[in-house]
Chains A and B, each alone.
Chain A
Amino acid sequence: MKTFVREPLVHFLLLGAVLFIAYSLVSKPGSSDGPGKITVTQGQIENLVSGFAKAWQRPPTSEELAGLVRDLVREEVYCREAMALGLDKDDTVIRRRLRQKMEFISDDIAAMPEPTDADLNAYLQAHTDRFRAEQTFTFSQVYLDPEKHGENLARDISALLARLNRACGQAEVSALGDSFLMERSFTAAPESEVAKQFGEKFAAKLGELSPGKWEGPVESGYGAHLVFVSERTEGRVPELAEVRDDVRREWANAQRLELNEKFYQELFKRYSVTIESPLVAEVQR
């Protein structure tokens, strides 16, 4: 990667961009006007027309076009006068954006190479937890509102649990337990989805239950649940083909961050920094 940052191309682009900015600062594109002359070119007019058409879905009338041109001339006059007054100098908003602009350039360089499958596979294997297919649960739950049962809660839970297990998974769960707004049965629900609806603790607990029988109580933010997990698929590391787009996006992002940092480090090397405050430690990076 280091060599990449040292690539002549990178330097070309950089210097090109700097000159581009500098060039356009001193010369208005499409015009070679003298100090007291303004020419509105055919190209600029076409630009105005297409801008208008994009916004309004129709071309401007001749009156509207005249207005657009008048506005452009006014803009040009103000700009030249303001430049003459030096109003563009030493502006923090501009400095902040120049930095952002450099970051954009650096971003785009980072985005250029297209990864090979080998790149992506290596990234996938190095970050398996990020791309893991989640474990999923097919389960039913019966809810008990602790407030409704009071001190009988434990007893009612045992009774209900025994009854459910006698029915061997054939129990009509919608008729048991307390009324509850959530669904009774879930099919192949990913762990994160269970966590969204019941909370993380409940979802984690589901992974510990043995499938094929009623278990509980499992606590959620709502109260107590008896749970029957009928199927559980383990989480697994997917094949690249299944998650290629995700891996590519994450790989590109990681590349971008890494290259941006190297890019900055390369630039930083050219400077020696003095900080005139004993309170601030040495700037390392």
Chain B
Amino acid sequence: MNKEKTRPMKAKHARKLITSALLCAGLAGSLIWLRVGAQQQMPTDAGTLDKATAEKSFPNKPPYSPYAGRSFPTRPFFGDTHLHTSFSMDAGAFGCRLGPREAYRFARGEEITASNGQPAKLSRPLDFLVVADHSDGFGFFPQLMSGDQELLATPQGRKWYDQIKSGHGAEAAMDIIVSFGQGRMPQGFPLPGTRAYRSAWQATIDAAEEFNDPGHFTAFIGFEWTSNTGGNNLHRNILFRENGAKASLVEPFTTMAPLGSDNPEDLWKWMMATEQKTGSEVLAIAHNGNLSNGRMFPIVEAFGKKIDRGYVETRNKLERLYEVTQTKGTGESHPYLSPNDEFANFETWDKGNLDGSVAKSKDMLEFEYARSALKNGLKLEALLGVNPYKFGLVGSSDAHTGLTAMEEDNFFGKTTPQEPSPERLTKTFINNPKTGVTIMDWEVSASGYAAVWATDNTRAAIFDAMQRRETYATTGPRMTVRFFGGWDFERADATNRMPAAIGYSKGVPMGGDLRDAPTGKSPTFLVAALKDPIGANLDRIQVVKGWLDAKGEVHEQVYDVVWGDADKRKPGANGKLPPVGDTVDVENATWSNTIGDPELITVWKDPNFDSRQRAFYYVRVLEIPTPRWTAYDAKRFAIKALPGTSMKFQERAYTSPIWYTPAN
């Protein structure tokens, strides 16, 4: 214990202090947000060598990028487009203490200390990261502290305080989210145009500039627009293609009127104005719609306005990607929507909206899951001429910890209270006594990542690949997935040793278009997947087809196209492939790669093609069963999971679709 007592300040010194203090006050205030200037220069890989060394071992200057000289992407880049840090008001309230810089450090592979004090490190670095803090309330807490009495004085602040003081900090954080969702944030909430807001945005930009390292690690500038009216989640993540000089010409769009709006159409207006003003392209990735209660993918009207040509055109142009899986569940499809798909029941959160204030009814599902939206997109295209739901797929974390740690055996949770501890197997995450909607911590998914087929690891290359939808989602594993569509793929192409070269030369990659079928031809697809180098073998690859028939009805079909252990595994009389098996030892949280295959590849031809019907095709890759994060927790903390806790599952990847559009 320190024995020194408080020392009286020297009188002379004190007088000087007091007379200077008021002068200093403004300076100190502005210093609070002073940050190291942005680093604009790019480091170079090639380095400078002395001549002798160069002649000996470095006869040719290596190309800047190991992929230089290739016109197509040779490996997918893995990253997260949706990570919150302490700059997000709810993350801060949950106790997150890591800011954007720490988030970038962690993503590029450094060991850092999590907010709850534990050391944290990824098994291997990610290739890119978007720190996407909530635009509403950027700088909420700093503003609170700089003497904005409006915030200090609100009844809500008082309530949150009491909750935190009595050990219910997570509840306070949920309440902040709920209050925000219901538009009940305190008076004095920070808004664009204020110094606190500007500073927080600039600090976000500066962090991205500092850690962006072209060729090695891409740090995107972005934010999350958090439209949440009535607790229905319509969030979007916004990414800038260009650098900080351009991004700092604007401030993020918010949702609170009058400065902001909760209507996506207003966000789109802001995006178009921003592109004009900054000269930087921006794109929006819609948040997993599973907590939107049927509002993510409207087909008749949105915000009281009929879906018209303007809506579908703008959405098609600006929302090229959709976040199909994240910590708050997976939204590919749902057993109710896809009763014949035995793999549709995967990590679904189908009890209500984001705050549990309205329970889910079955009729909402069609308008918030990816597959049904892709189908309805075909309908709208037939009706209005443009498909608003022509999106590619990515996964991301939506973690509020500053830590994009989404592996089952290295899961750092969605929020700071859910960082590894014995409690997270049994605690409640969302509980709304009015509606009875309850979500347990164990239901949170250790998912996911975005895989992008970019030609290089730079902002521009990755952004452009996102724009052309050459992406896929994974629930965490870093498997490699190729998917090409064309009219002339043949069986032999699957045994070719350069599948990518064949794929690009004879077809279009995931996210692309096939049009006007040549007479008598059906679309053919080159499909391949390679397991995560440190992960589980693959069970199977499936192609999911959706189409619009002559009567205007939509349909779907899932095909098993290639599978592991093919020598002893054949589809049964019902056409279904038998399960791959299961080597998971839940108690010890282990499995073995004795079943399944490390790599699968085939050429598949649509057996039921009608050239007059609009259609889409996307690929789903399943791993063999592995332990879920809950099994690792039960083992490592030596505790028992609650009855009904899911302890193992089949992780997966979902590619962007390839669309077929007939001539007329």
Binding site for B on A (CB under 8 A): 8, 11-17, 19-25, 28, 47-48, 50-57, 60, 64, 67-68, 71, 74-76, 78-79, 82-83, 85, 87-88, 90-94, 96-98, 100-101, 104-105, 108-109, 111-112, 133, 136, 138, 145, 147, 174-175, 179-184, 186-190, 192-193, 195-200, 220-223, 231-234, 238-239, 241-243, 245-246, 248-249, 252-253, 268-273, 282-284
Contacts and interface: CB of A to CB of B under 8 A. Distances in A.
Given A83-B153, A249-B39, A193 B66 contact: yes
A138 B59 CA distance: 12
Nearest to A252: B36
A15 B17 contact: yes
A87 B154 contact: yes
A79 B597 contact: no
18 contacts: A11-B17, A12-B24, A13-B24, A17-B28, A20-B29, A28-B149, A51-B191, A52-B259, A83-B153, A87-B154, A88-B149, A91-B158, A100-B145, A105-B28, A182-B530, A238-B47, A245-B41, A272-B5
Contacts of B5: 270, 272
Interface size class, chain B: 35 or more
Given A15-B18, A105-B32, A269-B2, 20 more contacts: A14-B28, A15-B24, A16-B24, A19-B24, A21-B145, A25-B147, A50-B193, A74-B187, A78-B154, A87-B157, A87-B158, A91-B157, A93-B141, A100-B141, A174-B498, A180-B497, A182-B480, A188-B63, A242-B43, A242-B44
Contacts of B152: 25, 83, 87-88, 91, 94
A179 B600 CA distance: 10
Contact of B47 (A242, A269, A284): A242
Contacts of A53: 193
A190 B144 CA distance: 46
A170 B193 CA distance: 65
B362 interface: no
Contact of B531 (A12, A100, A221): A221
B164 interface: yes
A50 B250 CA distance: 12
Contacts of B505: none
A187 B532 contact: no
Contacts of B57: 231-234
A19 B153 contact: no
Given A54-B251, A97-B141, A246-B43, A270 B497 contact: no
B75 A183 contact: yes
Contact of A108 (B34, B93, B210): B34
- In order of increasing CB-CB distance, the 6 nearest A-B pairs are A51-B193, A16-B24, A82-B153, A24-B147, A188-B62, A20-B25
Interface string B107-151: 001000000000000001101000000000000011011111110
A179 B493 CA distance: 11
B529 to A, nearest CB: 8
Nearest to A13: B28
A179 B75 contact: no
A96 B31 CA distance: 20
A200 B35 CA distance: 37
